Amino acid sequence: MPLLEVTDLRVQYRTEDGPVHAAKDVSFSLERGEILALVGESGCGKTATAMAVPRLLDGGNATIGGKVVLDGTELTRLPEKRMQDIRGKDISVVFQEPMTSLNPAYTIGKQIGEVIRRHTDMNRGQVRERVVELLELVGMPDARRRLGAYPHELSGGMRQRVMIATAVACDPKVLIADEPTTALDVTIQAAVLDIIRRLREELGTAVILITHDLGVVAEVADHVVVMYSGRHVEHAPTAALFDKPQHPYTLGLMDALPARAARRGGRRRLTEIPGMVPPPTTDPDACQFAPRCARADAGCTAKRPALSRVDDGHLVACYHPGPGGTA
């Protein structure tokens, strides 16, 4: 039985312009110790999908449908008080921008310790030692001295380490990392990815990694879900996705990679996917990538393609899948 099973997840926001369909019938599962990447362009529904799992969306404007089961417990219908016990303990989140996620008025020791006090019965001394242990786990230099530091006194990479330490303070079963390497230099990016790998190996933590960086995906992920316009268009083991991408949108993303151009001799110009992403207020019964796709025909706009298996563990929602050609 998977640790986490998401079935037909839907996220809809109410706006003055009508409903916005942020995530549409997205399904995936996550095993213990597995790293699953959600990839796609900005606005494709990655963050809405991931944040719907612990129900961290604006309850006044967002409606969540479908089913989310964590270790046998169905989350979507749990009372909010019960969800507060699960967040931070069973599911934790590393948010995209640590400077806006950390409280500038409190020391990092206090902020990490608050999570531990909320979910355990440790005394003050035990909490302090646990915070030091966590900071050392994420590679914070001079961890004990940093307990009294405020967020503004730390570099971007250090703040990201604090966010990760806070998220794993209670050994969560699932860690959601939202663009954890964005705006970090390559050296710090490598360190953050190494931390994520070590958490998986040492704590058995399963990770949902939200990113638009396919280089990061290739380095750490076990499986990949490719999203477009709120929908799940391809799902495959990482090696299979890079070796034989099937959906024209995935091929378009791959063809925009500088490393892919280099492997082909370095003389080819990077390509772009023509056209624009459709507005999120639309949800037609058709392939929404069809207007941008060189393979599209009348059947693509007549009915939305369902996810179908093309290989072992490799699913794609396309009437004309295959690794040849581009979008």
CATH of the domain at 196: 3.40.50.300
| 19 occurs within a structural domain | no
Whether residue 2 is predicted with pLDDT greater than 90 in this model: the reply is yes
Is 147 in the same domain as 196? Answer: no
Quick check: 202 pLDDT over 60? Answer: yes
- 219-225 mean pLDDT: 95
Distances (CA, A) of 140 to 78, 110, 216, 287: 36, 16, 22, 47
**Is pLDDT above 60 for 196?**
yes
Residues 154 and 245 in one domain: no
The two structure tokens encoding residue 108: 């990092």
DSSP H stretches of helix in the chain: 46-52, 80-86, 98-101, 108-119, 124-137, 143-146, 156-167, 186-203, 214-220, 238-243, 248-255, 258-263, 298-302
Note whether 237 and 312 are same-domain residues: yes
At 90, the pLDDT band (50, 70, 90 cuts) reads: very high
141, 192: one domain: no
* pLDDT for 172 beyond 60: yes
In a domain, 51, yes or no: no
In single-letter form, the type of residue at position 231 comes to R
Q: What would the pLDDT profile of 119-131 be if each residue is shown by its tens digit?
A: 999 999 999 999 9
Q: Both 276 and 290 in a single domain? A: yes
The string of DSSP codes covering 45-92 is SHHHHHHHTTT-S-TTTEEEEEEEEETTEE-TTS-HHHHHHHBTTTEE
Quick check: is 53 in a domain?
no
* Across 272-291, average pLDDT: 90
Q: Is the pLDDT of residue 195 over 90?
A: no
Question: 225 and 86 in one domain?
Answer: yes
- Kindly state whether residues 187 and 257 are assigned to the same domain: yes
In terms of domains, do 86 and 226 share one?
yes
On whether residue 147 sits in a domain, the answer given is yes
Query: Domain range for residue 234?
Result: 31-46+78-90+173-316
What is the reported pLDDT for 193?
87
- Shared-domain flag, residues 124 and 159: yes
Domain termination residue (choose one: 155, 171, 187) = 171
d(CA 175, CA 70): 12
Query: Which pLDDT band, with edges at 50, 70 and 90, does 26 fall under?
Result: very high
For position 204, what pLDDT does the model report? 87
- Whether 167 and 178 share a structural domain: no
Please state the domain count of the chain. 2
The pLDDT of residue 21 is 92
Residue 10 has pLDDT above 70, yes or no: yes
Does the pLDDT of residue 110 top 60, yes or no? yes
pLDDT at 294 over 80: yes
Give the separation between CA 273 and CA 168, rounded to whole angstroms: 38
pTM of the model: 0.91
Is residue 162 in a domain? yes
Q: What is the pLDDT of residue 58?
A: 65
* Average pLDDT estimate for 170-176: 93
Domain final residue pick, 153, 171, 189 = 171
Name the domain boundary from 121, 151, 171.
171
186 occurs within a structural domain: yes
β partners of residue 126: none
* Confidence (pLDDT) at 324: 67
pLDDT category, 301, cuts 50, 70, 90?
Answer: very high
Q: Give 45-86 pLDDT, tens digit per residue.
A: 999 999 999 999 866 788 999 999 999 999 998 999 999 999
Query: What is the reported pLDDT for 212?
Result: 87
Provide the pLDDT for residue 187: 80
Q: Is residue 241 one of the residues assigned to a domain? A: yes
Q: What is the mean pLDDT of residues 227-244?
A: 95
Q: Are residues 280 and 250 both part of a single domain?
A: yes
| 1 domain residue, yes or no | no
Q: For residue range 92-105, what is the model confidence (pLDDT) as tens digits?
A: 999 877 778 899 99
Contact by Cβ (8 Å): 326, 271: yes
- Whether residue 283 sits in one domain with residue 159: no
pLDDT at 264: 55
